[in-house]
Structure 1
Amino acid sequence: MVYKSIQQFQLRQEFGSEKQALAVLNKARELGFEQIELNGFMLQKMSLGVRGLLRISGMPLGKAGNLNWKELISESGLGVTSIHQYFNGLEKEPEKSIEEARNFGTNNIVLTGLQKFDFSSLDNVLALCESLNKIGERLSKDKINFLYHNHNCEFLKVDNEKTAFDIILEETDKRYVAFEFDSYWPAEAGCDITKLMNQIGERLKLYHINDRGNRPSGRTTSILKSDSIELGYGNMNLEKYIEIALSNNVEAIVLETTKNWINNSGIQSMELSARFMNKYVR
C-alpha cells in the first residue's frame, strides 16, 4: 500500500492554535490523506532567524512550534510519514532525531536541505557523501531509514558531464542512504525527470509531488514566470512520475506546495491537489 501524505509546511498558516491545527488535520483526513510529513523545526519554538528567513522567502510560519503535535496527530488519526531534520543536528546529535522519530511512530528521517553549500565543487560533494554514509549507518543501528531530499542545487554540474546529484547517487551507500525525490526542483533546473527517477530506482522510498506552471489571468506579457501550482494545473507529467514511483514500491507520495497557492490558501490548494492524488494514487 502506498500512503497519500501531505507536508506539514504546506499547512503552516493554519497552525494558529490547537483547535485550528486539529481542524486542518481532520480536513486532510477527509480529503483522503492518510499521513503527514513533519519538520523538526516546526515541532519546537523557532528562532527569530528561521522565522525571518522564511518571511523573506515569502513563506511566513504560523505558531506550529507552540503546539502539542504528538497529541494533535493522535487525535486526527494521521500517521507520520517521516520527519525532516537539519544536517548539523543529524551529524552531531543523531540520538535526538532518533528519539523524535520514535516518539512520532516513524522510521524515516529525511535530510531537509543544506544551506550555504557549494554543490559545484566535486571535493565538497564527495565529502558530503562520506558524511551522509556515516549518518545513515548510525541511524540504521536504531532501525531508522535515512533519506536524502533534493532541491535544484544538486543539479549543478561538477564537471562537463556529471551533476552533484549524479555523484551523490554514485558515492552514497545504498544500504544507508535512500531518497525522497522531489520532481519539481529538477524540472525547474531543466532535467529529465523520468531518467532521474529510473536512476534512483529501488532507493526511491518517498516521492514529493508538486506541479509547475503559471497562474496569470487576463492579458499577459510574452514571458510568464513559472512557479509551484496545484497538481494537474501545471505542465509536469505527474501521471508518469507517479507510475514510476509506484513501480519502485514507494512508501508514500507526499504533497508539498509551499507557496503560490490559489487564493493564497494552503487549504484550498490542498483541496484541489487532493482530487488529483485520489485519482492517480491508489
Structure 2
Amino acid sequence: MNDYNSRRTFLKQTGILSVSSMLPLSVLPIDYKYKMGLQLFTIRDAMAKDPIGSIKYARELGYEDGEIYGYDGKNDTYYGIKSQEFKKQLVDLDFTISSGHYDFSSLFNEPMDYLKRYVDQCIKGSKTLDSKYITWPWLAPEFRTIENFKILADKLNTIGERVSKAGLQFAYHNHDFEFTDHNGKQGYDIILKNTEPSLVKLQMDMYWVEHSSNKNIHELITENPGRYVMWHIKDMDKVTRDYSEMGNGSIDYKSLLSSVDMEDLQYYYIEQGGNFADNSMQSITDSAVYFKKHLQRFL
C-alpha cells in the first residue's frame, strides 16, 4: 500500500507527478490501512455544546473516523440532531462513524421485548450513519455479579443474532470491572466462554486491560481469533494510573503496536476519558500530534 513505485504511478496518472516528483517520499501522503479514529466521548463537553463544530475540529486534526455515543432511540437523534441530518453533516466533513456505544445497560432488567425494541432502534440509527458496529459499552455497578454476567452473556448472544440478521455487527467493550475476582471467577471469562464468536465481537480497551487485568493483551488476542475487531487506545498516567494524553503515560504503545497481532483489527479509536492536562479539545490535539508522529506508522 505504501510502495514508492505504485505511488509514483498513481501520481503520474493523476497529473500530480509534475508537482510532487521533486518532493522526498517522506512528505507525500501516506495511505494507512486504518483511519485514525476518535471515541467522541473524549470530547463530550464540547459535543454537548457544538457537536458538528467539535467533529470539524477533530477532522482538521487528522481524525477521520469516530465512535459515537448518546443515541436517543425514541427520537432517532444523535446529540439532538436527527440521524439523517447528522449523516449529511458527517458526509460534508468527510468523517465516518464506524461504531456506536449504545445504552443497553439501562434495560438490563427490563423485559426482553423492551431490549429488542431498543436494539431495532439502534439498528435504524446505525444504518442511517453507515456504521458497521453496534457496541455494548457498559454494565452498571448494581448488575456486576457472576450470575448477572451469565445473564449478560445470553443477552449479548440475543442482541448479536438480531444485529447480524439486520446486516450489521455487534461487539462488547470492556472496562475494569469485568476482571474483578469473584471467588476465583471473572466476568470477562464468562463473556469469552459463553458468547458466540460469530455473533459477539470484542472491542478491547487496552488501557483497562493494562490497568486492571492479570491478562496479557497479546495473549487475549491470540487466544481469541476473529474476535478483537476494535481497539480503544488511551494512555495511563505514570503516577496516578488515571487517563493521560497519548505519549505522556506509562503504556509502551510503540512496542505494543509494533508487535501485536492485527489480523482481526478493523477499527481503532483514540480515547481519553478524563484527567485532561488542560481541556478535552487540547488533549485530542496533543494526542493526535503524538500519535501521528510516533504510532500511526504501525497502523
Asked if these proteins are the same fold (TM beyond 0.5), I'd say yes
Structure 2: runs of 5+ lacking an equivalent: 1-32, 108-113
Match of 2:46 in 1: 14
Is residue 294 of structure 2 the alignment partner of residue 277 of structure 1? no
Q: Does the alignment pair 1:171 with 2:203? A: no
For structure 1, list consecutive stretches of 5 or more residues without a partner in the other structure.
46-62, 215-223
Per the alignment, residue 206 of structure 2 pairs with 183
State the aligned residue count: 251
In 2, the alpha carbon distance for the partners of 1:246 and 1:255 equals 18
The alignment status of 1:268 with 2:282, answered yes or no, reads yes
Distance 1:44 1:64, change over 3 A: farther
Does the CA contact (< 8 Å) of 2:71 and 2:79 recur in 1? no
CA displacement 1:231-251 (0-9 Å, x = unmatched): 111111223443466623311
Q: Displacement, 1:106? A: 0.8
Using CA pairs under 8 Å that are at least 6 residues apart, name the structure with larger relative contact order, 1 or 2.
1
Are 1:73 and 2:97 an aligned pair?
A: no
Offset of 1:107 from its aligned partner? 1.8
CA offsets 1:46-85 (integer angstroms, 9 cap, x no match): xxxxxxxxxxxxxxxxx94368533432221101121111
Instruction: Check the 8 A contact 1:4/1:277 in 2, yes or no.
Output: no
What's 1:249 paired with?
264
Query: Is the 1:126–1:167 contact (alpha carbons within 8 Å) kept by the matching residues of 2?
Result: yes
TM-score normalized with structure 1 length? 0.79
Give 1 or 2 for the bigger CA radius of gyration: 2
Q: CA RMSD in A?
A: 2.5
Rounded to whole Å, the distance in 2 between the matches of 1:16 and 1:3 is: 24
C-alpha offsets along residues 31-57 of structure 1, whole Å, 9 cap, x if unaligned? 221101111347999xxxxxxxxxxxx
Matches within 5 A, 1:1-282: 1-15=33-47, 17=49, 20-41=50-71, 64-65=79-80, 69-87=86-104, 88=107, 90-121=115-146, 123-160=147-184, 162-194=185-217, 195-214=219-238, 224-243=239-258, 247-263=262-278, 265-278=279-292, 279-281=294-296, 282=299
Instruction: State the one-letter code of the partner of 1:7.
Output: Q
Identity, % of aligned positions: 25
Inter-partner Cα distance in structure 2 for 1:16 and 1:140: 31
Letter of the aligned partner of 2:234 in structure 1? N
1:181 maps to amino acid: M
- TM-score of the aligned structures, taking structure 2 as reference length: 0.75
